[in-house]
Amino acid sequence: MKPFRLSPLALALACAFALPARADDTPLPPIETPAAAPGQTVLSADTVEGQTDVAVKARGNVVVTRDDERIEADWLDYYQARSQARAGKRFVLTEPGARVEGSDLDYALDTRTGNADDPSFSANQNGRQIRGDGDTLDFRGPNRYRLNRARANTCEPNDDSWYIKARTIDLDYNTNVGVARNARLEFQGVPILYTPWIDFPLDNRRKSGFLVPTFRTGSESEISLPYYFNLAPNYDLTLTPRMNFKRGARLGAEFRYLRPDYSGLISTDQTPDDQVRGGSRFAWHAQHTQTLPWNLNFGYNLNYVSDDDYFRDFGDRESVASNVNLVREAWFNHHYSWNGGGMSSQLKLQRYQTLQDPVTPVDEPYARLPQLTTNAFQYLPYNLSANFYGELTRFAHSSKQEGSRLVAYPSVTWNFDRSWGFVRPKFGVHATYYDLEGFGSQPARTTSRTLPIFSTDSGLNFERDVTWRGNSYVQTLQPRLYYVYIPTERQNDLPNFDTSENDFSYAQLFTENRFSGNDRINGANQLTAALSSRLLDTADGREVLRVTAGKRYYFRKDDITLAGTEQERRTSGSDFLFGASGELTRKWSFDSAYQYNEELGKTERYNLRLQYSPAPGKTASVRYRYDRDEEVGGSGQRDTLRQVDLAFQWPLARKWYAVGRYNYSLRDKKALEQLAGFEYNDGCWGVRVVGQRYVTDLTHTKNAVFFQLELKDLGGIGNNPLDVLRLSIPGYSPINETRQ
């Protein structure tokens, strides 16, 4: 039989009447209440009557405690033999992380089983809150509950803006799984989803089950219902059936896996019968990385789609812009270190699927089958260091001359670095050998090129403390000179496998070669003079202002074109570059770049962006971009580019936000992207409605409409626009992370 203890008041009265009468008024010593032993039931109330070993009736302010359980009620009958309690008219039962209120309670303290009428349930365990009510509640053992004819949500008390309403809701905190049967989701009292059965996690762990359906509309409308398979802690599968109301049924799948030494994913989207275009259309993507013994790494990245128009028909603006050449590659990497040096090597197989636009065709890149590259370095005495770059590649193409290329570029650098500045002269020899196969009228042949390369990078560092508007700053000044010498050599007899001309920029001023790849090396006898300055807040290290300026001076006129022929420079120096950026205040920031052609006396290009962001959820920016000589959409024609870009996220009223972007081409006299919408955040739920229109090529545009209802801890219903908003609006913040 379980021990039972009366209230301190009952014990005190019993002891007082049992003592003999005293003639004096000497106070009796207080009676100490012994601490409850584990498993002992302690009861207190205004009145207690009954037989302690059988049954006790308690009335008025009843409190029963046992270990970590507590019952408060207006009245309570306790049957000690079976550790059973019946309570009412109102009761409150609390357990670790859970609280139940109701009108009548029948509860076994030993087994934690029983039932309650008119219950209100709340639990906060594993970082997730849930509360609900129902007709009855069944206690089914430690940390297990069943609500009958119930509803539940994750909102704060008295917030019933949405809830899951079900015939039964089971909550098992031992397995951290909840199950609702014959359930529907109601928002503002309106049913929006129904399911005969659904289970959900009661913590943040993954669990198999249906995910929230999504809806997409705009140029095309589509509904999808993902199902998530939590196959194991280290791999999972998501199947996403879709119905495109214009093109027909689709199916998406994504399998992910993770192990200590390897990880990756495989995904696909399948449209068995496109009712607009006809036939099967699909996309595949697979990636894998793996650590192997002996300092080896292996990986692959594979992408393939059924046709050139796949992303224009099924993708969004980002996928249309970024998926022109779909890479398919696999590689082995090896890293090895020794005292004072190291080496890294890579063996790669790479080819592309080039998606063609009939209006602006794209030149298909060469495949590398294979490519072996090596980088090595060794520290030497007297602040010297030796470096080596080597490459052996076989280039393959369906409609161009194929061949192999061997590159070796050893170099030695002297590093003289001090706190006040640095000098780093470097000398190397770039040797390139080609073995070309016959193609059409071009015979098989071999050719080579060897060029010495000398460069010197040097700079000074100056700092001073300054005070401005009562604040302390550190101002830096860093003049820099960079000299390069490379003999000019005609290279028009060499193929062009992978070389293009880099965009002229401040960073490009400090490179030996203005061409990417190894098929072209510019001639150089030139000096770059540059100056940079920063203003740093001494309180927090914040960069308040950065200013850069630079120009390249040529000591000879000859030059090399991308075609490999010689040409004479028309000027003794490059364009002048200037840039400025920083935080004018903690709310205002800007960045800018300016390029001036001194020979023509004209501005080549510039852009300026000004942004105001006083707080999360409040941001507005304006950007203007100008380019005097820009290629028009890959067509080969050139014209002046002028674009204005406006973007914002701003609160309209309490809980309401507006979002928008307008990107307009002044040259083409049309909008490149238009985006507008609003967001509402009510704490336990939010809604986003966004419309977007953008160009996919020179002659086509596409529309997208995003609507998402986001419920706290349940996720979003509809089409999520967050990725689009982050990409379109600089400084965008999700509304559930903001405060008004």
CB 410 within 8 A of CB 390: no
Q: Which stretch of DSSP H or E encloses residue 725?
A: helix 722-728
How high is the pLDDT of residue 661?
Answer: 96
Q: Is the pLDDT of residue 297 over 70?
A: yes
Q: What is the pLDDT of residue 633?
A: 56
Alpha-carbon span 605 to 328, nearest angstrom = 35
Amino acid identity at 593: A
pLDDT at position 35 over 90: no
| β-sheet bridge partners, residue 593 | 579, 607
- Model confidence at 50, pLDDT cuts 50, 70, 90, reads confident
Does pLDDT of 195 surpass 50? Answer: yes
Return d(Cα 113, Cα 107) in angstroms, integer.
6
Quote the pLDDT of residue 271: 95
**What is the rounded average pLDDT of the residues 378-404?**
96
- Binned at pLDDT 50, 70 and 90, residue 176 comes out as confident
Q: How far apart are the first and last CA of the chain?
A: 59
pLDDT band (50, 70, 90) for residue 1 = very low
Q: What is the dihedral of CA 324, 325, 326, 328, to 10 degrees?
A: 180
The ranges assigned to domains in the chain are: 1-23+31-118, 125-205, 587-740
Amino acid 304 reads: Y
Residue 72 predicted with pLDDT over 50 = yes
Q: What is the pLDDT of residue 4?
A: 45
> Rounded to whole angstroms, how far apart are CA atoms 453 and 444?
30
Q: What is the mean pLDDT of residues 525-548?
A: 93
Predicted local distance difference test score (pLDDT) of residue 739: 60
- The predicted-structure confidence for 456-484, as pLDDT tens digits, reads as follows 999 999 999 999 878 899 999 999 999 99
Whether 175 has a pLDDT exceeding 50, the answer reads: yes
Task: Tell me the residue ranges of DSSP E strands in 67-119.
Answer: 69-79, 84-95, 98-102, 104-108, 113-117
Which residue in 655, 638, 663 sits closest to 728, CA to CA?
663
pLDDT of 293 higher than 80: yes
Chain length of the chain: 740
Mean pLDDT of the chain: 88
Contact between 114 and 93 (Cβ < 8 Å): no
**Six-digit token pair at 697?**
């090529």
Give the pLDDT mean for 40-58: 85
pLDDT band at residue 37 under the 50/70/90 scheme:
low
CA dist 62 and 87 (Å) reads 9
Q: Which two tokens stand for residue 669?
A: 């006299």
Report the share of the chain in percent with pLDDT over 90: 63
Q: What is the mean pLDDT of residues 388-398?
A: 96
Residue 188 has pLDDT above 80, yes or no: yes
Question: pLDDT tens for residues 196-236?
Answer: 988 878 877 777 887 878 887 777 888 888 999 989 989 99
- The pair of structure tokens assigned to 508 is 């490009």
Average pLDDT over residues 289-312: 94
Q: Is the N-terminal amide bond of 410 cis, ω within 30° of 0?
A: no
Q: What is the mean pLDDT of residues 72-87?
A: 90
Tell me which amino acid residue 313 is: D
Token duo for residue 191: 């049913």
pLDDT of residue 658: 96
> What is the arithmetic mean of pLDDT over 382-394?
97
343 vs 39, residue with greater confidence: 343
How much is the average pLDDT of 273-296?
A: 94
User: How much is the pLDDT for 636?
Assistant: 56
Euclidean distance between CA atoms 646 and 659, whole angstroms:
11
pLDDT more than 70, % of the chain? 93
Q: What is the pLDDT of residue 637?
A: 60
Q: Note the pLDDT of residue 34.
A: 54
The average pLDDT across 391-410 equals 96
484: which strand partners? 455, 526
Please say if the pLDDT value at position 359 is more than 90. Answer: no
Contact (Cβ atoms closer than 8 angstroms) between residue 607 and residue 625: yes
DSSP string covering 580-631: EEEESSSSEEEEEEEEEETTTTEEEEEEEEEEEEEETTEEEEEEEEEEEEEE
What are the pLDDT digits (tens) for 425-443? Answer: 999 999 999 999 999 888 9
Torsional class of 739: left (φ above 0), alpha (ψ -120 to 50), beta (otherwise): beta
Two tokens, residue 686: 């939010």
Please say if the pLDDT value at position 17 is more than 60: no
Task: Sort 23 into a burial class: Cβ within 10 Å, 0-12 / 13-18 / 19+.
Answer: exposed
Q: What's residue 652's pLDDT?
A: 92
Residue-level pLDDT at 625: 95
Question: Could you report the per-residue pLDDT of 611-654, keeping only the tens digit for each?
Answer: 999 999 999 999 999 998 776 555 556 678 899 999 999 999 98
DSSP state of 541: -
Tell me what pLDDT residue 662 has. 96
Band the pLDDT of 2: cuts 50, 70, 90. Answer: very low
pLDDT digits (tens, 9 = 90+) for 590-599: 999 999 998 8
pLDDT-wise least confident of 136-150, 350-364, 649-663: 350-364
Biggest alpha carbon–alpha carbon distance for the chain: 134
What's the pLDDT score for residue 540? 83
Q: Scanning the structure block, which residue is given the tokens 């190291």?
A: 342
Secondary structure, 3-state, 668-725: CCEEEEEEEEEEEECCCEEEEEEEEEEECCCCCEEEEEEEEEEECCCEEEECCCHHHH
Supply the pLDDT for residue 697. Answer: 72
Q: For residue 22, what pLDDT is reported? A: 42
